Structure 1
Amino acid sequence: MALMFVAALPAHAVIVTDERGVAVDFSQPPQRIVALLPSLTESVCALGACSRLVGVDRYSNSPELVRALPQVGGGLDPNVEAIVALKPDVVLLAKSSRVTQRLEQLGLKVLVLEPKNHADVQRVLDALGQMLGVDDAQRVWRAIDASVSAAAQSLPPEARRTRVYFEINSTPYAAGESSFIGETLTRLGVKNIVPTALGPFPKLNPEYVVRANPDLIMVGERSAQGLEQRPGWSLIRAVRDGHICRFTAAQSDVLVRPGPRMGEAARLMAQCIVDQSK
Structure 2
Amino acid sequence: MSTRVISYRLLPLMLVALCALLVACGGSTQTGSSATPAATQAPANDYYGKPINMPKAAPQRIISLTASTSEILGALGLQSRVIGVDAFTNYPTDLAKLPKVSSTQGYNVEQIIALKPDLVLSSGGLTKQYDSKLKDSGVNIVDLSLTNFSQTFDQIQLVGRLTYSEAKANDLVAQLKKERDDIEQKVAGAPAPRVLLEVDDSTPGKPYVFGGGSFGDELLQDASATNIFHSNTANEGYPQVTDEAVLSANPQIVILTEDPAYGGTPDSVYKRANWSTIQAVKDRKVYRVNADIMQRPGPRLVQGLQCVAQIVHPDKFPGALPDYCTGTV
**Cα–Cα, structure 1 residues 151 and 223, in superposed 2: closer, same or farther, change >3 Å?**
farther
- Counterpart position of 1:132: 163
What percentage of residue pairs aligned between the two structures are identical?
28
* Structure with greater strand share of residues: 1
- Which of residues 263, 267, 276 in structure 2 aligns to 1:234? 276
The 3 A distance-change label for structure 1 pair 139 and 191 is same
Following TM superposition, by how much is the alpha carbon of 1:138 offset from its aligned partner in structure 2, in angstroms? Answer: 2.6
CA deviations over 1:137-188 (Å, ceiling 9, x no partner): 2322222222222223344865x33111000010311012321111111011
Matched, 1:245 2:274: no
Distance verdict in 2 for CA 1:150–1:67, change over 3 Å = same
CA shift in 2, pair 1:2/1:106, >3 Å: farther
Q: CA deviation at 1:22?
A: 4.2
- Name the residue aligned to 1:143: 175
- Cross-structure match for 1:96: 126
* SS of residue paired to 2:199: strand
For residues 214 and 187 of structure 2, what CA distance do their matches in structure 1 show? Answer: 21
1:90–1:110 CA contact under 8 A, matched in 2: yes
Q: 1:75 to 1:40 in 2, by over 3 A?
A: farther
Q: Is 1:107 the counterpart of 2:141 in the alignment?
A: no
Whole-angstrom CA distance in 1 between matches of 2:166 and 2:67 = 23
Q: Say if 1:148 and 1:184, in contact at 8 Å, map to a contact too.
A: no
Report whether the alignment pairs 1:70 with 2:99.
yes
Q: Given the alignment of the two structures, is residue 19 of structure 1 paired with residue 56 of structure 2, yes or no?
A: no
The alignment partner of 2:102 has SS state of coil
Distance in 1 between the 2:315 and 2:255 partners? 10
Q: How far apart in 1 are the matches of 2:71 and 2:137?
A: 26
Where 2:63 maps in the other structure, the secondary structure is: strand
Bigger mean CA offset, 114-123 vs 41-50:
114-123
| Separation of aligned partners in 2, 1:40 and 1:130 | 14
The answer on 1:208 being equivalent to 2:245 is: yes
Classify the secondary structure of the residue corresponding to 2:166. coil
User: What residue is the counterpart of 2:112 in the other structure?
Assistant: 83
Query: How many residues of Structure 1 are paired with residues of Structure 2 in the alignment?
Result: 274
Q: Deviations over 1:222-270 (max 9, x none)?
A: 33353233332111000111100023xxx21111111101111111112
| Contact 2:47-2:146 within 8 A present in 1 as well | no
**Which letter maps to 1:253?**
D
Cα–Cα, structure 1 residues 162 and 37, in superposed 2: closer, same or farther, change >3 Å?
same
Aligned to 1:269: 308
- Partners of 2:275 and 2:309 in 1: CA distance: 24
Q: Secondary structure at the match of 2:107?
A: coil
2:85 corresponds in structure 1 to 56
Name structure 1 gaps, 5 residues minimum.
Answer: none
Distance 1:178 1:74, change over 3 A: farther
Matched, 1:40 2:100: no
Q: More deviation in 190-199 or 11-20? A: 11-20
1:9 and 1:139 map into 2 onto residues whose CA distance is: 13
Structure 2 residue ranges without an equivalent (≥5): 1-18, 30-35, 317-329
Q: Quick check: 4-13 or 237-246, which moved more?
A: 4-13
Aligned CA RMSD, in angstroms, stands at 2.8
The TM-score, its normalising length taken from structure 1, stands at: 0.87
Distance 2:184 2:38 in 1: 40
